[in-house]
Structure 1
Amino acid sequence: MKHSFFIFFLSLCIALPCFSAFAQPTDDVEPYMNSQTLESPEINAESAILIDATTGEVLFEKNSKNKMYPASITKLMTVLLALENGNLEDVITFSHEAVYSIEPNSAHIAMQEGEQITLEQALYGILLRSANEVSNAVAEYVDGSVAAFAQRMTQRAKELGCETTNFVNANGLFHENHYTSAFDMALIAKELLTQDAYRKMMNATYYEIPPTNKQPEIRYLHGQHQMMNKNSIYYNEYATGGKTGYVTEALNTLVTFARKGDTELIAVVLKCNGAQHYVDTKALFEYGFANYQTAKVLSAQDFAKSVEVVETYKNKTSSLGNIIVSPVEDVYKTISTNANLANITIDVNYPETISAPVSAGQEVGTLTVKSGQKTISTIPLVAQTSMIETPQEARIAQEKETRMKLVKMGGIVLLGIVLASLILLCITRTVGYYKRKKRRKQRALRRKRQRKITRCTK
């Protein structure tokens, strides 16, 4: 028995080295991500999400698609639509409805009926003081009524990919049918960052609205987001903007933007007690910046290509010239902080020729970025300029010009033939004349010699 056990043990020892204690990499593993174990933050918010603002990749989430009440972070959508559909220099006049329809003691900046400020001043009032009557006025400025504006808000959210969002007002005051999710708010916030005007406003912690037609005093606006306030215990050096929110049913809600180096993050936390929304957001940013970075995979300008534009008319294909096509945008990828992009290949697919007409922005081909066998991104190659077909009037003129050229060419050829014939005739006659003259001269010489011979014989 002991002998049998010894043989089994020896066999096991020999066999064990044949098995690895570590998993081997496969083709499905992304080489641009490392295999480290990332320690997720402890979040007390009922719902939360952290995304890369550039790539949109989700870095952390907790119940991020649950239906939640947003409170005043709603106003980020209000600002987005105002920038997409308005002019910052336009003047807004406050209606009775805009001023007096808000709840008593809710956030406002004491605007009066008939008072006028610019859209830019209104947006600072919304972003810094969360002014509810200002949100109403902006809604009326864009769509004529808050109800119509709320419909636009919901429709725009769907266009951005939001799946759990329905807005019924522009300010976020509680309504049971006014809801969203952390995921949807992150999408809205990401889109807001595409607005250059917002990027100029988002860092502001203080703003002054000068005297108006109804108010002789300056309105001094101080920001409420404590992660932007250098005198606050919740100040965060990387925070660059955002929006606070609170109603009893939603508790504290918060959207915050932060940037460290080339990496920009968006954190959304919903239904937080007390100052927990700042604590959670700080934890999310610490986690995000410690573990992830945004890497540029390619620059659009490095992949510009020339494509010939042609047109076919009456079964004849002709070239109209060349246009430049290039990717619509640079390509970025979120990777871990101690990783780098490896094994990147880029497949460019576009035709050598394209038929007119071509419009600027028209998709002409595609550019696919791969890491190993995995596709990172596929983006369109678009025309940078337009090129139209030859107008019918121009074609008629060209055909007429072509016919005239043919007629002229035919005339020239005919004239050439006539001239050549005349010249040849002249040459022929001249040669014939000299030949005849020579023959006459030769005959005369022969006759003369014949006469001399005849005289000599006599």
Structure 2
Amino acid sequence: MKKKLAIFLALLLSLTICLPVSATEVTEEVSTEHPETTEYPDDPTRAPDLVANAAIVMDAASGQVLYEKNSQEKKYPASITKILTVLIALEHNVDFNATVTMSENAIWGVERDSTLIGLDVGEQVTVKDLVYATMVKSANECAYALAEYVAGDIESFAKLMNERAAEIGCKNTHFVTPNGLHDEDHYTTAYDMALITKEALKNETFREIAGTLNYTVPATNLTEETRPLWNGNKMINPAEPYYYEYCEGGKTGYTMKANNTLMTFAKKDGLELICVIMDCDGAKYAYSDSKALYNYCFNNYTYYRPLADFSFESEESGTSTDNAILNNYYTSLDHDMIDLSVDTDYALLLNKSVDTTQIERNVTFYDKAQDDVLGEITFTYNGEQIGSTPITSTTPLLSTQMAQDDNSKQSSSMWKTIGKIALRIGIVIGALLAVLLLYLLFAALVRKIKRNRRRRTYRRRRKRDDDYYF
């Protein structure tokens, strides 16, 4: 019995020794930690490490890209598609008070397990309800109904979407649906979505809708209950752990194929930025990635106004006078007769590491006015142009005067050309007349000689006849 017990204990001990080794190996093989958003507070100039596979930060004013990660790779946008859907509706001046009756396609043409607000076929809501439900709650049936209201059907609306995206400058975008539900042929890039957002932010109504925290759809013809809606963007909700005080609005998105997507816009110290996150594994990481990127960009970029103290008087001595504008309309006239101006608030968005004392400024005047633009000021740093702004004039009818001067010069040149041609024609005609005159003189001379010969012959004959009869 003791021998069997000893054997049993020995076996148990061997198993105890072996099992931890085996468990460790298995853990190492199947257990991998999820990546986290990583910021570097000890080195604020270092960009954060992101979870998202594609991202971009763009200046909302100029379109300058401050950060990008795979921003030109085609990705599925999911519900951030609705940014363009709502923008197109607003640009078509839809009547917010108009009533829309939900169609069967709008209700049953979307996946029932996707985000909806529970509308039914025949239910009547306003266009305003559709717009806000589309952006605030990301309601897919509302985006569908809004597209039908604007274009008649989904195919026609998709055409509008693709045409508008191309006008905005999107190169790698193709939309099929107004709500972003998955389709293999429905794709875009982080860069293109930033461009679309930049365009949308020019519309104040869009800004208001995208920053709305909650909205209530009132009772309809089919229900007496109201539908309170809360914005899915947690970065604008102070009650959420992902709240970011500088974020002013945005749009969330998710499908299994797209992963999490997120567009937000934020403003700090006069600098407004657009951040687009795509193909991110986890909504919380889309928020943490966005916040990390905003911290990095706001900490490292600032506006520099190179023309704050600019005046043309300080530039005159170094400005060439070998051009029509300065010779004819500036240096030769009293300065009160022509007003040259630039935008002294013109700003360059620069990394804070840039030595602004090394930025070179070059003033160039054109030979001809172009809609009262007389020239430009360009800025270079380390041999590369980093910006430019036009030189304009508020002098009334300046470009008209210059155009008239050009026309006068052209007219004078034309008359000179005509004069040369006329002179040549005159010379040819004169030569022909001279030849004709010589011919006539020669002919008259010949006739005279012949006449004289006839007369002499006649006289000789007459003399012979007189001698004969005598």
TM-score > 0.5, shorter chain as reference: yes
Q: Do structure 1's residue 291 and structure 2's residue 300 form an aligned pair?
A: yes
Q: 2:387 aligns to what?
A: 377
Residue 374 (structure 1) shift:
4.5
8 A Cα contact 1:98 1:134, kept in partner = yes
Cα distance, 1:151–1:385 mapped onto 2, change above 3 Å:
farther
Residue of structure 2 in register with 1:138 after alignment: 146
1:61 aligns with 2:78: no
**What is the DSSP-based 3-state SS (H/G/I as helix, E as strand, rest coil) of the residue aligned with 2:48?**
coil
Deviation, 1:193, is 0.8
In structure 1, distance between residues paired with 2:254 and 2:279? 9
Q: Residue 326 of structure 2 aligns with which residue? A: none
What's the counterpart of residue 5 of structure 1? Answer: none
Counterpart in the other structure of 2:78 = 71
Alignment-derived partner of residue 198 in structure 2? 190
Give the deviation of 1:377 after TM superposition: 3.4
**Structure 1 residues 243, 37: CA separation in 2 closer, same or farther (over 3 Å shift)?**
closer
Write the letter of the residue equivalent to 2:186. Answer: H
Q: What SS does structure 2 have at the residue aligned with 1:102?
A: coil
Contact 1:296 1:330 in 2 (8 A): yes
C-alpha contact 1:54 1:294 (8 A) present in aligned 2? no
Q: 1:168 to 1:217 in 2, by over 3 A?
A: same
Query: Is 1:268 the counterpart of 2:284 in the alignment?
Result: no
Provide closer, same or farther for how the CA distance between residues 350 and 48 of structure 1 changes in structure 2, counting only shifts above 3 A: same
- TM norm structure 1: 0.63
| Residue number among 205, 217, 221 corresponding to 2:213 in the alignment | 205
Structure 1 position 114, deviation (Å): 3.4
* Per-residue deviation, 1:221: 1.0
Q: Deviations for 1:52-96, whole angstroms, at most 9, x for unmatched residues?
A: 222211111111111111100111111111111123535141322
Count of residues in correspondence between the two structures: 327
Letter in 1 for 2:278: L
Distance 1:351 1:216, change over 3 A: farther
1:280 aligns with 2:273: no
More strand by share: 1
Asked if 1:118 corresponds to 2:126, the answer is yes
Counterparts in 2 of 1:279 and 1:261: CA distance versus 1, 3 Å: same
Determine the structure 2 residue equivalent to 1:335.
Answer: 350
Question: Match for residue 32 of structure 1?
Answer: none
C-alpha distance in structure 2 between counterparts of 1:98 and 1:324, whole Å: 59
Offset at residue 365 of structure 1 (A): 4.7
Residue 152 of structure 2 aligns to which amino acid in structure 1?
G
Instruction: Tell me the equivalent position of 1:232.
Output: 240
Contact 1:139 1:149 in 2 (8 A): yes
Equivalent pair of 2:148/2:154 in contact (CA under 8 Å): yes
Q: 1:108 aligns with which of 116, 121, 145?
A: 116
> Which residue number in structure 1 is paired with residue 181 of structure 2?
173
Alpha-carbon distance in 2 for matches of 1:383, 1:130: 48
RMSD: 3.3
1:274-312 C-alpha deviation (Å, 9 max, x unpaired): 22111211111111111112345569xx99xxxxxxxxx
SS class of match (1:240): strand
Question: 1:421-436 alignment to 2 at 5 Å?
Answer: none
The corresponding residue for 2:15 is none
Q: In the alignment, what sits opposite 1:49?
A: 56
Tell me: CA distance 1:124–1:176, structure 2 relative to 1, closer, same or farther (3 Å).
same
1:173 is paired with a residue whose SS is: coil
Distance in 1 (CA, whole Å) between partners of 2:275 and 2:292 is: 10
CA pair 379-130 structure 1, distance change in 2 beyond 3 A: same
One-letter identity of the residue aligned with 1:162? C
Cα displacement string for residues 160-200 of structure 1 (whole angstroms, at most 9, x for unaligned residues) = 22111100010000000000111111111111111111122
State the secondary structure of the residue aligned to 2:186: coil
Question: In the superposition, relative to structure 1, how do residues 109 and 349 fare at CA in structure 2: closer, same or farther (>3 Å)?
Answer: farther
Corresponding letter in the other structure for 1:78: T
Distance 1:378 1:353 in 2: 17
Distance 1:280 1:382, change over 3 A: same
CA–CA separation in structure 1 for the residues paired with 2:154 and 2:338: 46
Cα pair distance change 1:209/1:340, threshold 3 Å: farther
Alignment match, 2:91: 84
Contact 2:53 2:279 in 1 (8 A): yes
Distance 2:95 2:396 in 1: 31
The change in CA–CA distance for 1:215 and 1:259 in structure 2 (over 3 A counts) is same
5+ residue gaps, structure 1, are 1-35, 304-321, 355-361, 390-458
- Contact 1:91–1:116 (Cα < 8 Å) also in 2: no
**Aligned AA for 1:70?**
P
Say if 2:58 and 2:274, in contact at 8 Å, map to a contact too: yes
2:347 match: secondary structure:
strand
What is the CA distance between 1:328 and its match in structure 2? Answer: 10
Instruction: Note closer, same or farther for the CA distance 1:212–1:45 as it changes in structure 2 (3 Å cut).
Output: same
Residue of 222, 228, 243 corresponding to 2:230: 222
When structure 1 is superposed on structure 2, of 195-204 and 365-374 the one drifting more is 365-374
> What secondary structure, in the 3-state scheme, does the structure 1 residue paired with 2:387 have?
strand
Question: Which one of 47, 50, 54 corresponds to residue 40 of structure 1?
Answer: 47
Structure-2 change in CA distance of 1:37 and 1:232 (3 Å): closer
Q: 1:262 to 1:149 in 2, by over 3 A?
A: same
Deviation digits for residues 221-251 of structure 1 (CA, Å, limit 9, x no counterpart): 1111111121211111111111110111111
SS of alignment partner, residue 123 of structure 1: helix
CA distance in 2, matches of 1:153, 1:324: 44
Amino acid corresponding to residue 334 of structure 1 in structure 2: L
Q: Secondary structure at the match of 1:107?
A: coil
Aligned-pair identity (%) = 39
CA contact (8 A) 2:136 2:210 kept: no
Q: Which runs of 5+ in 2 are unaligned?
A: 1-42, 313-336, 401-470
Aligned 8 A contact 2:136 2:209 in 1: no
More helix by share: 2
Shift of 1:210: 2.2
Structure-2 change in CA distance of 1:263 and 1:248 (3 Å): same
TM-score, normalised to structure 2, is 0.62
